[in-house]
Amino acid sequence: MSDRALRFPDGVWDELEGLPQPLRNAAHRAIFHMLEEPVPPLADAFPELDPLPGAYRLYLPSDGLTIWYTVTESPDGQVVIVVQYAKADT
C-alpha cells in the first residue's frame, strides 16, 4: 500500500479537467509531484496571517495557476493530500 494518497472532493477534478490544456497540464504535474513531496518549497501555509494546520497554497507563477490543498496523516500513517481548489490567475 502506498504511503500517500490524493483526494479531490466534490467537483474539483472536473474543474481541473475543465481548465485550458496548458493549465491542466501544469496542474497535473504539480498535483502528482505532491505524491513525492507533499509540501514543495513553493507552497505557502494558508491563510497567510493565521495558517491552518496542514493547509497550503501552491502558486505557480510561470503557469499562472494557484492550487489550495491540505495535507494530513491518517491513523494508519498514510499521508492524505486533498486538493481543495485550483484557480487560473486572470
pLDDT digits (tens, 9 = 90+) for 5-63: 999 998 999 999 999 999 999 999 999 999 999 998 889 999 988 999 999 999 999 99
Q: Which pLDDT score, from 0 to 100, does residue 48 have?
A: 87
Q: All domains of the chain, ordered by start, with CATH?
A: 4-88 (3.30.2310.20)
Determine contact, residues 24/67, Cβ cutoff 8 Å: no
- Counting Cβ atoms within 10 Å, is residue 45 exposed (0-12), middle (13-18) or buried (19+)? middle
pTM of the model: 0.89
